[in-house]
Each structure stands twice: as C-alpha cells, then as structure tokens.
Amino acid sequence: MEEQSVKQCCATFYGSDFARMLLGDSFHPGGTRLTTRLGELLALSPQSHVLDVASGRGASAFHLAESFGCKVIGVDLSEENVRLATADTSQRGMIGKVTFQLGDAERLPFGSETFDAILCECAFCTFPSKPVAAREFCRVLKPGGQLGLSDLTRSEAVIPGLEGLLSWIACIGDALPAERYAATLQEGGFHVSHTEDHSDALVEMVRQIQAKLLGAEIVAGLKKIDLPGVDFATGRQFAQAALQATSNGSLGYVAIAARKP
Ligand SMILES: C[S@@+](CC[C@H](N)C(=O)[O-])C[C@H]1O[C@@H](n2cnc3c(N)ncnc32)[C@H](O)[C@@H]1O
C-alpha cells in the first residue's frame, strides 16, 4: 500500500469512536502511567516547552501539562483527533498551556530548535519513513533537547496472523526491534541514553482489548448497538495472535530516551 494511504488510514482509524471504545483516551500501552515515566526521563519542568508528536486525542499532552506544569503542543495527522483534543482544552482549563494542530511527523510544521523536549508514543513505528521523522525530531529540538519515545517492538519479520492493513493500524506492520529504533535515532542525530522494556503493559492492553471486543460483540449481537463495518471475528483472531506473539517475545513494548547533542 502506498505510504500516504497507510498514514491516512492509521489517522482515520485513531480518529474513530471505535478506536476510543477499544483503547480509551490513551492510545498506547501503559496509559498515563508510562507517560509519567517518559516525563521523568525527559526531566520535564514548568519551564519545558514540549512537542507531543502524533498526540491522538490529547490524553498525554494534558497529562504532562497537569503533572509537570510544562507547555505542550500536540501535532497529529488526524483532523478528528485534533478537533476533539482542541475541544477538550477549555473543558480541562488548559487554554494557553496545551494546544493541538494538524501536521505530519515527517514534515513537522515548526521552525528549527523550537522545543526542549519531544514525546512520541506508539506512533513512530507507523511512520513509513522513520529516518526522515528522526531527523525532523532532531531539527525541531533545541541543542541538549530530549526525546522520549515509547513503541511496539517486533523481532520476527513475519508474525502469523498479524499481517496486512490491520497490522499497520495496530502499529505492528512496520514495528522494529528496539535496537533498530535506537540505531535510527542515532543516525538522525540523537544520542540514545536509556532503553527500558514495558512489554507487560502491551500484554495488559491486548487483554483489555479482547475483553472490550467480546463485550461489544455481545451487545451488537443483542442488537442494542449498530457497528457497521466492524468485523469482530477478524478483530478477535488478531488480538489472539497479538497475545501469542507477546508471550513468545516476537512482540513487545519499549521506552527509549535520547538526547540531541
Ligand atoms: C496509536 S495512536 C497514538 C496516539 C497518542 N500518541 C497516544 O498515545 O494516545 C497513533 C497516532 O498517530 C497518528 N499519526 C499516524 N501517522 C502520523 C503522522 N505521520 N504524523 C502525525 N501523526 C500521525 C494517528 O493519527 C494516531 O493519532
């Protein structure tokens, strides 16, 4: 599939109500707990100006601003996510502290050396050109700026039951081993300072998705809700294959901290 279509498809899925039903507001394993951990690794303070790349519905951007007092800009390719996150800004009393705008991680709409820190959760693996995104991250960071990334890892080239477009949307399609992410960041101009495994958070998330799929299927079966276009059987098989892959170590989740020299 062409790069632009993959990106748009991923953005459309994560802008949908179905994604929110399955994942809640935080679209990554570990939820706000892991976001707090990344905020600590980034040594955020009220003086920090942070960019959240692929900010989704804004849960992490709000969480960082509330927890560390920093100013955050979220950028995402999904118009719907940007609209919904922006609508939440006033409700959360975050006007002036957190803003959202449309943009592509591979062509960030910001000047060079703008930010003290970048957060990028569960999205780097979906970018068709990771080296370009890594260079963009480095460009918009000030010298000495920090990057906190968390992402899916994949050690096998082919994982049975996890191929095709669904795997792209689920961020699995082009996920890499942790060392390959680190190498891509280094080549993009970063010094990788820390890597930690959070695969347990991925197992927990897949189990929650399985439970929610089952619940939605039961409710749809009782004809209480109409979910056109949702193929529960495929979703169920996919979640089962993902769980299998996490238990044999083919899939995992990692947090990486890196610094622009
Ligand atoms: C798995 S979600 C993660 C969202 C958010 N970081 C979180 O953890 O809640 C992936 C997000 O990446 C966004 N996205 C995908 N490709 C993108 C790109 N090239 N540039 C910016 N955002 C992108 C999608 O719209 C989606 O909101």
Convert the pLDDT of each residue in 131-160 to its tens digit. 999 999 999 999 999 999 999 998 876 667
Atom of ligand 1 nearest to the CA of 57: 9
Whether the CB-CB separation of 70 and 44 falls below 8 Å is answered with yes
Please tell me the pTM assigned to this model: 0.89
- Give, for ligand 1, the residue of 4, 16, 17, 126 to mutate: max count of ligand atoms closer than 8 Å to Cβ: 126
Percent with pLDDT over 90 in the chain? 61
Ligand 1 centroid vs 126 CA: distance in angstroms? 8
Atom of ligand 1 nearest to the CA of 171: 1
Whether the CB-CB separation of 53 and 109 falls below 8 Å is answered with no
pLDDT in tens, 179-201: 999 999 999 999 999 999 999 99
The answer to whether residue 163 scores a pLDDT higher than 80 is no
- Give strand pairing partners of 102: 76
Nearest CA to 97 among 55, 46, 39, 26?
Answer: 46
Residue ranges of domains in the chain, CATH in brackets? 3-200+250-259 (3.40.50.150)
- Range list of β-strands (E), the chain: 49-53, 71-76, 98-102, 115-121, 141-154, 191-197, 251-259
Beta carbons within 8 Å of 106's beta carbon, 6+ residues apart: 127, 128, 129, 132, 133, 136
Q: What is the mean pLDDT of residues 118-137?
A: 96
Ligand 1 centroid vs 54 CA: distance in angstroms? 4
Cα–Cα distance for residue pair 213/83, rounded to 1 Å: 26
The answer to whether residue 20 scores a pLDDT higher than 80 is no
Cα–Cα distance for residue pair 84/80, rounded to 1 Å: 6
The answer to whether residue 106 scores a pLDDT higher than 80 is yes
Host H or E run for residue 243: helix 232-247
Whether the CB-CB separation of 22 and 105 falls below 8 Å is answered with no
Atom of ligand 1 nearest to the CA of 81: 27
- Output Rg (C-alpha) for the chain, integer angstroms: 18
pLDDT in tens, 200-252: 999 888 888 887 777 766 766 665 555 555 577 777 777 888 888 888 888 89
- Give, for ligand 1, the residue of 34, 78, 140 to mutate: max count of ligand atoms closer than 8 Å to Cβ: 78
Assign 130 a pLDDT band (cuts: 50, 70, 90): very high
